[in-house]
Amino acid sequence: MNAAVIVFPGSNRERDVAAALRAGTGSAPAMVWHADTDLPAGTDLVVLPGGFSYGDYLRCGAIAARAPIMDAVRAHAARGGLVLGICNGFQILVESGLLPGILTRNKNLRFICKTQHLKVERVDTRFTSGYQPGQVIEVACAHGEGNYFADPETIERLEGDGRVAFRYCDAAGNVGGLANANGSINDIAGVYSEKLNVLGMMPHPENLIDGAVGGTDGLVLFAGLAKAA
Ligand SMILES: NC(=O)CC[C@H](N)C(=O)O
């Protein structure tokens, strides 16, 4: 599979996600600078990594969404190409209009850094085909603005169309309550685009790829993507 990781000034998880792609797909991704205007020919998957692009100035992801490379990312998505945005990458996807809704300050107004359980809502997408229906997975959270919000019509559409990818839950799979630390509406941790080819998620699957360091629940996503591509 040919993956491209976009690197913005202030990205800090691009190496983590490159390691996850190498481990999950067997090949190293191309690293593409934000000021470039083209993706490498034959790119199957674009990854927008986590971090603090442009120092989180204005709003997280707002400036990166207007970077030169984003026209090529939008065109890739419009052709049905795969796009994965993780944390700051999710923020960039909503700021660029590739996904609906917004990501605003965590409800406790603090940076949240912890492992987190997620419920996998569906396993018939190219991102989640490696999981079991209803599986509870463990991933890492590290964000200040992960509180997902959208207007009631948008939420109804997302829920009705099965476009919620993951929800915050406890170890037993109970959704919401204290498990939803950032206050996201409907406990939403990740959403798909209409054609299910764009996924934005707040937690970091790329940091759970090694049994010796916390587990491999994240690796499943990258390995599944390679199979799907
Ligand atoms: N880990 C990240 O990608 C952090 C995203 C963003 N800078 C925030 O704090 O919300």
User: Which value does ipTM take for this structure?
Assistant: 0.97
Q: Of ligand 1's atoms, which has the minimum distance to the CA of residue 50? A: 3
CA–CA gap between residue 83 and residue 147 (Å, rounded): 21
Active site residue 206: yes
Q: How far apart are the CA of 8 and the centre of ligand 1, in A?
A: 13
Q: What is the pTM of this model?
A: 0.97
Query: For the segment 77-130, what is each residue's pLDDT rounded down to a tens digit?
Result: 999 999 999 999 999 999 999 999 999 999 999 999 999 999 999 999 999 999
Domain 3-228 sits in CATH 3.40.50.300: no
Q: Say whether pLDDT at 229 is over 80.
A: no
CB 130 within 8 A of CB 220: yes
Please tell me if the CB atom of residue 52 comes closer than 6 angstroms to any atom of ligand 1: yes
At 95, give phi and psi (nearest 5°): -70, -25
CA–CA gap between residue 71 and residue 47 (Å, rounded): 14
Question: Which residues, including other chains, have CB under 8 Å from residue 124's CB and lie 6 or more apart?
Answer: none
Q: Which of 52, 129, 130, 45 is CA-nearest to residue 89?
A: 52
Mean pLDDT of the chain: 97
What is the Cα 107 distance to its own chain's centre? 20
